[in-house]
């Protein structure tokens, strides 16, 4: 367990520090996007047209852009001073957008504000590292490694709760261990919840075996239909009468009438209108309700309402009320809201943010503690190459911790310095982030390590403190101006970054002295013959064998629950898939805890496979 905790923790921490930091920041993705968009104030106007007239103008504009568009999307402003966003996707898959004044329907200059990924960048970075499918699976594997490291850490640290109340600053290695224990124990339930829900959100992607075993290779639609059937009584309502439309005009040109009908049926204001396949067969118009802030605070599962109209006739085709409703896949809804803190209001968001930073600190102190321990007591694990390995490990620590902080603040500066009219500027912002991160790794490899720590934290602190000046120079805005205008979200983004600039400056000041020391030679004990191959075998057995055991175990459970009358096939798939991640984590720990575990693992896999086949035949 000690070996598992140490090495899984170290190897996974080099990317998990960035993943956790990005996840913590993404809790405030909406305020960050608001600050980075830097949307200007609407121009003065003497006209105030009815909403129906403005939506008709939006429909005419969208109709003139693409004859066979895949969809139109009209994002209604949440506040009076915001613009109305018009988004359309062409038949070729290209997405375009424009801005319209919601008061008189006038098109606003382009670009209106700054095209940016904003806080969504941190969310995407959190679960894919911007690496597509490969990054998605890599993050899933690292999350499973984190879950195994957390569970093995509980086993290894026998005095973990006692040590939580002990902190000895200035004691070198002991202080790092105290910090690691305190940050781990304080937020242990949170870290376990975040790791598990991060996997459970994508349970049919990471663990597709139960779904395919019960419903077949292409059975996802049938599974979703059965779940939707169970939720239909709670989530659907009787359809109202057809709205009073002008028969001489298509329904998509009368969005104002549909909007009023939808808002009356949903008993809530709308946030978005979606027209799918406009002017084509199977045209559909959907009006999405705005989330109820009070309900979102009180309930973990709080879906928004939605009204769907037939594009040809304008009649209601379905109506889903928010009050008391459950989505078809309620398990996914609950896991997602638990993971992304979309409940509980700002109090929960700040709590998630602080606990997420504590989790980042736990990983960072663990990675640093490992290198400090080996520096003080070399074990010669890698023979003559041991000093070189630890030099690389410490460079990776610098890039994973200090470099991640530096890349994040570079992203904010890039948002302001890249011209608003620059084509593809949102992609350039993300490129600037990764270039800064790569530069931090290069810098850590060529500079003395203690200087690298100091210089990168000092640079990050300086950039944080200079962000208000950058904002003033590029947009003539600053935190006080945001506060005077009542835009407290943007004001808090800039103020919080300045606070962290001060904290990073203090940290850099504490790191200004010192030098990296070569690990002591220590005593190099001869490893038993074939030891490294046996370690590699256990790692592969834990990763692949554990996944195989979790898959067949979940398949058995998914098939057994309906046969025993304990759940429907659809619910059986959900329960089995969610439990599979716990089976995987326990299997990985078992491989490293028991002698000859791979034999027992193979025997269990074979036995469960036979049982799954028998249940499938039944």
Backbone φ, ψ for residue 249 (5° rounding): -120, 145
> What does the pLDDT average to over 564-584?
89
Residue 448 clears pLDDT 90, i.e. is over it: no
Q: Give the pLDDT of residue 293.
A: 65
Q: Which pLDDT does position 53 carry in this prediction?
A: 92
- Tens-place pLDDT, residues 465-504: 999 999 999 998 889 988 888 889 999 999 999 999 999 9
Instruction: Return the minimum-mean-pLDDT range out of 209-213, 296-300, 382-386.
Output: 296-300
> Do 323 and 330 form a contact (C-beta atoms < 8 A)?
no
Calculate mean pLDDT across residues 555-567.
88
| Position 236 pLDDT exceeds 80 | no
Q: Residues 575, 562: contact at Cβ < 8 Å? A: no
Q: Which residue has the higher pLDDT, 31 or 366?
A: 31
> 99: pLDDT confidence band, cut at 50, 70 and 90?
very high
Mean pLDDT over 279-302 rounds to 77
The CA-based diameter of the chain, rounded to the nearest angstrom, is 90
What is the token pair recorded at 41? 């104030």
pLDDT at position 62, please? Answer: 93
Q: Which of 366-375, 535-544, 595-604 is predicted with the least confidence, judged by mean pLDDT?
A: 366-375
For residues 364 and 235, give the distance between their C-alpha atoms in angstroms, rounded to a whole number.
45
When the pLDDT of each residue in the chain is averaged and rounded to a whole number, the result is 85
For residues 37-65, average pLDDT: 88
Mean pLDDT, rounded, for 135-142: 93
Is the confidence at residue 407, as pLDDT, over 50? yes
Show the tokens assigned to 457. 């934290």
What is residue 388's predicted lDDT score, i.e. its pLDDT? 78
Is a pLDDT exceeding 50 seen at residue 235?
no
Contact 608, 549 (CB under 8 A): yes
SS3 label, residue 164: helix
Contact between residue 577 and residue 551 where contact means Cβ atoms under 8 Å apart? no
**Confidence at residue 266, expressed as pLDDT on a 0 to 100 scale:** 87
Least confident span in 25-29, 157-161, 257-261, 337-341: 157-161
The percent of residues above 70 in pLDDT, for the chain, comes to 87
**CA atoms within a 13 Å half-sphere pointing along the CA-CB vector of 524:** 10
Q: Taking a C-beta distance cutoff of 8 angstroms, is the pair 90, 70 a contact?
A: yes
3-state SS track over 21-79? HHHHHHCCHHHHHHHHHCCCCCCCCCCCCCHHHHHHHHHHHHHCCCCCCCEEEEECCCC
| Residue 381 scores a pLDDT above 80 | no
Segment 411-426 shows an average pLDDT of 92
By the 8 A CB rule, do 178 and 168 touch?
Answer: yes
DSSP state of 313: T
**pLDDT confidence of 412, banded at 50, 70, 90?**
very high
pLDDT at 607 over 60: yes
**Residue 27 Cα distances to 61, 355, 432, angstroms:** 35, 11, 22
Between 519 and 578, residue with greater pLDDT: 578
Tell me: the pLDDT tens digits for 532-552? Answer: 777 788 888 888 999 999 999
**pLDDT confidence of 372, banded at 50, 70, 90?**
confident
Phi-psi region of 327 (alpha: psi -120 to 50; beta: other; left: phi over 0): beta
Convert the pLDDT of each residue in 427-438 to its tens digit: 999 999 999 999
The pTM (predicted TM-score) of the whole model is 0.84
Question: What local confidence, expressed as pLDDT, does residue 232 receive?
Answer: 56
Looking at residue 529, what is its pLDDT? 72
C-beta separation of 167 from 175 below 8 A: yes
């Amino acid at each position: 367990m000690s070996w598992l905790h140490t090495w899984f923790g170290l190897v996974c921490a080099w990317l998990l520090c960035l993943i956790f930091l990005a996840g913590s920041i993404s809790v405030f993705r909406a305020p960050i996007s608001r600050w980075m968009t830097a949307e200007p104030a609407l121009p003065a106007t003497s006209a105030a047209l009815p909403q129906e007239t403005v939506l008709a103008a939006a429909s005419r504009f969208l109709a003139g852009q693409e004859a066979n568009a895949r969809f139109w999307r009209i994002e209604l402003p949440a506040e009076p001073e915001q613009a109305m966003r018009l988004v359309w996707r062409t038949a070729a898959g290209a997405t375009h957008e424009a801005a319209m004044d919601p008061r008189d329907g006038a098109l606003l200059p382009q670009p209106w504000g700054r095209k940016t990924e904003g806080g969504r960048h941190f969310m995407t970075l959190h679960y894919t590292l911007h690496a597509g499918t490969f990054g998605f699976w890599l993050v899933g594997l690292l999350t499973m490694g984190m879950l195994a490291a957390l569970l093995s850490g509980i086993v290894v640290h026998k005095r973990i709760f006692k040590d939580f109340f002990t902190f000895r600053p200035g004691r070198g290695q002991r202080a790092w261990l105290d910090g690691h224990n305190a940050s781990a124990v304080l937020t242990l339930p949170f870290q376990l919840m975040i790791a598990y829900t991060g996997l459970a959100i994508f349970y049919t992607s990471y663990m597709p075996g139960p779904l395919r075993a019960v419903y077949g290779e292409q059975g996802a639609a049938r599974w979703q239909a059965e779940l939707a059937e169970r939720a239909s009584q709670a989530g659907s309502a009787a359809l109202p009468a057809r709205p009073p439309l002008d028969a001489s005009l298509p329904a998509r040109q009368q969005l104002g009438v549909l909007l009023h009908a939808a808002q009356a049926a949903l008993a809530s204001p709308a946030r978005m209108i979606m027209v799918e396949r406009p002017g084509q067969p199977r045209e559909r118009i959907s009006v999405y309700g705005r989330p109820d802030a009070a309900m979102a605070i009180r309930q973990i599962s709080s879906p928004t309402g939605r009204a769907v109209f037939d594009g040809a006739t304008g009649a209601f085709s379905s109506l889903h009320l928010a009050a008391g409703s459950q989505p078809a896949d309620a398990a996914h809804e609950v896991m997602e809201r638990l993971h992304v803190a979309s409940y509980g209001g700002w109090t929960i968001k700040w709590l998630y943010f602080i606990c997420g930073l504590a989790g980042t600190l736990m990983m960072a102190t663990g990675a640093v503690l490992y290198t400090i321990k080996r520096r003080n007591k070399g074990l010669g694990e890698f023979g003559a190459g041991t000093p070189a390995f630890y030099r690389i490990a410490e460079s990776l620590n610098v890039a994973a911790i200090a470099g991640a902080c530096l890349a994040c603040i570079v992203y904010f500066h890039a948002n302001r310095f890249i011209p608003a009219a620059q084509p593809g500027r949102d992609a350039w912002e993300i490129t600037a982030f990764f270039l800064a991160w790569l530069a931090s790794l290069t810098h850590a490899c060529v500079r003395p390590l203690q200087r690298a720590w100091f210089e990168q934290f000092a640079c990050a602190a300086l950039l944080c403190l200079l962000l208000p000046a950058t904002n003033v120079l590029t947009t003539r805005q600053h935190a006080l101006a945001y506060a005077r205008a009542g835009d407290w979200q943007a004001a808090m983004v800039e103020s919080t970054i300045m606070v962290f600039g001060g904290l990073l400056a203090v940290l850099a000041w504490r790191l200004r002295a010192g030098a990296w020391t070569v690990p002591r030679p220590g005593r190099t004990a001869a490893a038993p013959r074939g030891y490294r191959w046996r370690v590699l075998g256990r790692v592969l057995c834990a990763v692949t064998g554990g996944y195989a055991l979790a898959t067949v175990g979940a398949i058995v459970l998914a098939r057994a629950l309906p046969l025993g009358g304990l759940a429907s096939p659809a619910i059986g798939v959900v329960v089995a898939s969610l439990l599979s991640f716990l089976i995987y984590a326990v299997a990985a720990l078992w491989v490293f805890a028991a002698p000859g575990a791979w034999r027992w693992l193979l025997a269990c896999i074979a036995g469960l496979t036979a049982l799954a086949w028998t249940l499938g035949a039944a």
